[in-house]
Structure 1
Amino acid sequence: MSATTGSAAATSYAHGSWQTPLLSDTIGVNLDRTVTAHGERVALIDRVTGVRWTYRQFVAEVDMVALGLLASGIVKGDRVGIWAPNRAEWVLTQYATARIGAVLVTINPAYRAHELEYVLNQAEIRMLIAATQFKTSQYAVMIEQVRTRCPGLEQVILLDDPSWIALLETGRAGDPAALATAQAMLSPDDPINIQYTSGTTGFPKGATLSHHNILNNGYFVGELCGYTEADIICLPVPFYHCFGMVMGNLAATTHGAAMVIPSASFDARGTLETVATERCTSLYGVPTMFIAELAEPELDTYDLSSLRTGIMAGSPCPVEVMKQVIDRMGMREVCICYGMTETAPVSTQTRRDDSIHHRTATVGRVGPHLEIKIVDPTTGRTVPRGEPGELCTRGYSVMLGYWNEPGKTAEAIDSARWMHTGDLATMDHDGYIAITGRIKDMVIRGGENIYPREIEEFLHTHPDILDAQVVGIPDPKYGEELVAWIQLRDGATLLDATALRDFCHGRLAHYKIPRHVHLVDEFPMTVTGKIRKIDIRETSTKLFADEQADRT
């Protein structure tokens, strides 16, 4: 049914051909098609709340939220934020905003007040839908802390609160004709989602994605997984990221498959119980999630025989982990995906019949209807196969741009619409891509992309810190862990790792807080005065080798 082609010459270029054309629908119209074809099949299961909706019930709930938003004054193009862990209402909001053309701004549940404030203002969010609290995150409290500094924020709707119930009641009394009118005004090329991805020069940038971007990416990821209406997809990955809402939710709804929420945030035992009880056919996760599931003492007591496939993404998968996922969990067709938020997200994917070598040593081949190439970062010329260079992607998946940042957009997407990933890679003669490094200093910790510059700028707000440099070092549990080199001001008291973490706690997302701290009088420099992060990284790896080894 499909083929992946490269150029006749042995250059690092490939195009993914596919007999099925790109979808030309909006997300709402596509959902209607699924309801018509599979209305009585299960659409969504939330194990925490007990929600179990068929597609016909699901779309009725979605439309109730959509009508509530319209009645609240939300119109096409308005930004609506969602700040909550995984739950059924998150999915309703995703599809309801798409029905009316509002732009859903997905906010990381781990964000703290200063990060929330930035996103609310940068995206000019008119309405924020949020959980009241979850674990140690007091969302309602943090919203009140920043609300006076966010003049564009007009409405806050809290889940498990009368304000959410009121939204539903308003929607229940709404006129379906108003929703039909709103949906008729939409185009597949309209922006529909803003996802924030950390930048190398400070605050996060809002990757702006269209219906066309994410609907097609979800659909073709599902195609390569072999999804049909019979599939039941277990989603312990967060919805605020493309992994959950695109590769998960949209892959499901474009195929009439079921979405299953095992828990509000990842829980290894709860995930295994969900797979066994709901007879899930597919399971998602970053490698650390699968490692945790494999480490469960009672793993072999769970009946995982229904599993066929799944997706592992976020960081490289160790060979032994992949073998166990296939052998002990039965995921014989598990896929590896690679991409970035700016490409909606998947650009390459392994196929269901690929070898273990291809699923661990590579990130697969180019996806359907996409182009990839590897270029010399200096000259921009496509390199011969087997030679390293920067990986670039072009096609339907490339974002519209960074929200309100045309300069940053121009830096990432060239005049020929190639998205420059900043990742170093090679392409072999069969078109498989291996990621060999990163041009940028991005750190991947447990599947979370972290850019040190954002953390460094935050650390500069500490009164005793003169300068700070943050790098990643290898970690057996999370793939990488953060190290902060700190230069103190004259007369400042000593600052250790515990004190620094206390300073960051509640102000930075937990995964951005450095685990290790090293105090220095100066940083290694080049002759031109640039800090040599490569030297910092190498020295840190040696300095903290014993502590890291204790984490195995």
Structure 2
Amino acid sequence: MVSPELENIATVWETIAAHLPDALAQAHGDRTFTWSEFETRANGVARTLLDSSASHDDRVALYLRNSPEYLEVQHAAFKIGIPAINTNYRYRDEELQYLFEDADVTSVVFHGAFTETMAALRGRLGKVRQYLHVDDGTEECPPWAVPYEQAAAADAGQVRSSWGRSGADLFLLYTGGTTGMPKGVMWRVIDMLRQINDVAGISFDLDDLEASIRRTLVEPGPVHISCSPMMHGSGWFGATMAMHKGGAVASLVSPTLDPVELLDTIDRHRVQSLTIAGEVFARRILATRAEDPDRWDVSSVRHLLSSGGMLSEASKEGLLELWPEAAILDGFSSSEGFGMGWSMATKGNIPPTGRFSPGANTTVLDDDGVAVEPGSSVVGTLVVTGRLPLGYYKDPEKTQRTFPLVNGERASVPGDRAIVLEDGTIQLMGRDSLCITSGGEKIFTEEVEGVILDHESVADVLVIGLPDPEWGQTVAAVVSLDPDAPVAGLDDLISHVKHRLASYKAPRHIAIVETVPRGPNGKAVYAEARRIAEESRQVAPA
């Protein structure tokens, strides 16, 4: 029988570090770390997290941009059997406070650029015992935080917690909820390991894990770049799959996508795989390459995963001219169910945008729970079975709604709607939750509506997403003003949202109307709101 301690991602990474100690594991600008150094630093962080009050109920928040520290802290958390909480660094104070409180965070690892935000929040976070400051050349480490490099140097050999670790440990993946506030999707670590093992391209015998790794990894694996943030599932999975293969993760230093830095890094490290977030990333890469086509040798790229935003056929064609031997995988998944659908593009074989081959455990059911007939044009609901999360952290009601029994089997029903075409592929139609996806970020209408409605001049509001050729969708609002309140300009309304929420959630288009469209019962009529916004579309200040 396999020891429960071995059924853990930490076991994979520890074994690789012992097997390929001198191979590259992390690169970030001029900084590089071997697998041995990656392991040593993660042990140091784990030792620091195990303070005198540590328990199995601890959680460490990753308030970090992409960097070597992100995976080091994740590895430390796996080692000692606690969840690492992915944190959207674009959140504002209220959103961060909600996330940290909901996740029961006890430690926060943060980049120096976020020092001011953390200083303002500290008094509100009663459960957080310690803060680790990662020096990014911005703000110095404050007296109330531990310098990260001090923690990383605290190695005392292999670190274990008193309660141990196992495959049953909780892995929390936070994602936007239907009310806009993030929700923690609960997975078991062993299920994450199995998922990675199934799709990474290299599979280990999980019943003989350590020996299988040593037999299988005869040389270092490929170098990967997650252009999309590792705080999101697609960026994290892309990086983790590279590590699973004994490869390396090169993270970009720029806080936003810098195509020049990206192409420089591909050239320097002979990068073989990338993760991007849809059209906006692709357009910037292609435009930069076109300006100086002879500057970079990027011929090493073989795999490109796009998730969080669809890629146009034109962009796929352009990317495959740049990387003719590559395969572009347009992935369609959710935190509640992986592998919902895939669209594979290769040079000369580019499928239509928005069309996916369903995953092995994905079906489209009509309102009666019957599989939709291909070519019938019936809009159904996507249902995923097989390997599923345990549910939502501290939210049994939402768990019951999203993970019901479907035809006698527990399933995930995130709310995606689709039709089944004659060839068995699926065409996405949207989500019942009215989620807006802009540049790979999820934006939920009710959250933005609530903030706009708090403005003293606003009487009513509906928020919708409009198509955008670069971002996928952009946020729009249909607003009616209170005639007795001070007059608000568009700049004022947008600034009001940006003061409360991440800036990407602020509307770029606002239509002022006498009455926001609602039915006799007060229910929002979003179709009419979308028509109004389209007809009066005007570009608001960024």
**What secondary structure does 1:463 align onto?**
coil
1:76 counterpart letter in structure 2: H
* Equivalent residues in 2 for 1:164-243, closer than 5 Å: 168-169=149-150, 172-173=153-154, 175-176=156-157, 179-180=159-160, 182=162, 185-195=164-174, 197-223=175-201, 229-243=220-234
**What secondary structure does 2:363 align onto?**
strand
Deviation at 1:233, TM superposition (A): 0.9
Cα gap change, 1:26/1:352 in structure 2, threshold over 3 Å: closer, same or farther?
farther
Cα gap change, 1:208/1:517 in structure 2, threshold over 3 Å: closer, same or farther?
same
Cα gap change, 1:45/1:170 in structure 2, threshold over 3 Å: closer, same or farther?
closer
Output the CA distance in 2 between the equivalents of 1:355 and 1:388.
30
Over the residues paired in the alignment, what is the CA RMSD in angstroms? 2.8
Larger mean Cα displacement after TM superposition, 91-100 or 70-79: 70-79
1:294 counterpart letter in structure 2: L
Deviation at 1:121, TM superposition (A): 1.4
Output the CA distance in 2 between the equivalents of 1:481 and 1:500.
16
Larger mean Cα displacement after TM superposition, 387-396 or 350-359: 350-359
Deviation at 1:170, TM superposition (A): 5.5
Deviation at 1:379, TM superposition (A): 2.0
Larger mean Cα displacement after TM superposition, 92-101 or 204-213: 204-213
Query: Counterpart in 2 of 1:379?
Result: 368
Deviation at 1:108, TM superposition (A): 0.6
Query: Counterpart in 2 of 1:68?
Result: 48
Output the CA distance in 2 between the equivalents of 1:181 and 1:471.
47
1:520 counterpart letter in structure 2: V
Deviation at 1:485, TM superposition (A): 1.5
Query: Counterpart in 2 of 1:81?
Result: 61
Deviation string 1:344-397 (CA, Å, 9 cap, x unpaired) is x4433345769733373423341xxx5111111x3222222334311111222x
Query: Counterpart in 2 of 1:324?
Result: 318
2:192 counterpart letter in structure 1: I
Deviation at 1:119, TM superposition (A): 1.0
2:69 counterpart letter in structure 1: E
Deviation at 1:400, TM superposition (A): 2.0
* Equivalent residues in 2 for 1:339-488, closer than 5 Å: 339-343=333-337, 345-351=338-344, 356-358=349-351, 360-366=353-359, 371-376=361-366, 378-386=367-375, 387-396=378-387, 398-415=388-405, 416-428=409-421, 431-488=424-481
* Equivalent residues in 2 for 1:530-541, closer than 5 Å: 530-541=523-534
Output the CA distance in 2 between the equivalents of 1:62 and 1:405.
32
Instruction: Indicate conservation of the 8 Å contact 2:474/2:507, yes or no.
Output: yes
Instruction: Indicate conservation of the 8 Å contact 1:219/1:255, yes or no.
Output: no
Query: Counterpart in 1 of 2:330?
Result: 336
Cα gap change, 1:284/1:171 in structure 2, threshold over 3 Å: closer, same or farther?
closer
* Equivalent residues in 2 for 1:511-526, closer than 5 Å: 511-526=504-519
Deviation string 1:320-356 (CA, Å, 9 cap, x unpaired) is 110110012335312111111223x443334576973
Output the CA distance in 1 between the equivalents of 2:104 and 2:181.
15
Instruction: Indicate conservation of the 8 Å contact 1:105/1:194, yes or no.
Output: yes
TM-score scaled to structure 1, two decimals?
0.85
Structure 2 counterpart of 1:116, from 96, 107, 110: 96
Structure 1: gaps of 5 or more residues: 1-22, 134-138
Deviation at 1:126, TM superposition (A): 1.1
1:41 counterpart letter in structure 2: A
Deviation at 1:440, TM superposition (A): 2.2
**What secondary structure does 1:404 align onto?**
coil
Output the CA distance in 2 between the equivalents of 1:455 and 1:547.
18
Deviation at 1:494, TM superposition (A): 2.4
Output the CA distance in 2 between the equivalents of 1:236 and 1:51.
18
Query: Counterpart in 1 of 2:213?
Result: none
Structure 1 counterpart of 2:82, from 88, 102, 105: 102
Q: How many pairs are equivalent?
A: 509
Deviation at 1:474, TM superposition (A): 1.2
2:67 counterpart letter in structure 1: R
* Equivalent residues in 2 for 1:240-259, closer than 5 Å: 240-246=231-237, 248-259=238-249
Instruction: Indicate conservation of the 8 Å contact 1:198/1:454, yes or no.
Output: no
Cα gap change, 1:153/1:55 in structure 2, threshold over 3 Å: closer, same or farther?
same
Output the CA distance in 1 between the equivalents of 2:52 and 2:418.
48
Output the CA distance in 2 between the equivalents of 1:79 and 1:426.
40
Instruction: Indicate conservation of the 8 Å contact 1:199/1:454, yes or no.
Output: no
Q: Percent identity?
A: 23
Output the CA distance in 2 between the equivalents of 1:523 and 1:438.
22
Query: Counterpart in 1 of 2:303?
Result: 309
Deviation at 1:181, TM superposition (A): 5.2
Query: Counterpart in 2 of 1:28?
Result: 10
Cα gap change, 1:72/1:43 in structure 2, threshold over 3 Å: closer, same or farther?
farther
Structure 2: gaps of 5 or more residues: 136-140, 204-216
1:478 counterpart letter in structure 2: W
**What secondary structure does 1:233 align onto?**
strand
Instruction: Indicate conservation of the 8 Å contact 1:374/1:383, yes or no.
Output: yes
Output the CA distance in 2 between the equivalents of 1:166 and 1:110.
23
Instruction: Indicate conservation of the 8 Å contact 2:185/2:392, yes or no.
Output: yes
2:369 counterpart letter in structure 1: G
Output the CA distance in 2 between the equivalents of 1:324 and 1:97.
40
Instruction: Indicate conservation of the 8 Å contact 2:344/2:350, yes or no.
Output: no
Deviation string 1:130-188 (CA, Å, 9 cap, x unpaired) is 1121xxxxx222223232222222222222227776565466455436x2455x83221
Deviation at 1:26, TM superposition (A): 0.8
**What secondary structure does 1:356 align onto?**
coil
Deviation at 1:293, TM superposition (A): 0.7
Instruction: Indicate conservation of the 8 Å contact 1:362/1:434, yes or no.
Output: yes
Cα gap change, 1:361/1:123 in structure 2, threshold over 3 Å: closer, same or farther?
closer
Query: Counterpart in 2 of 1:289?
Result: 281
Output the CA distance in 2 between the equivalents of 1:218 and 1:400.
18
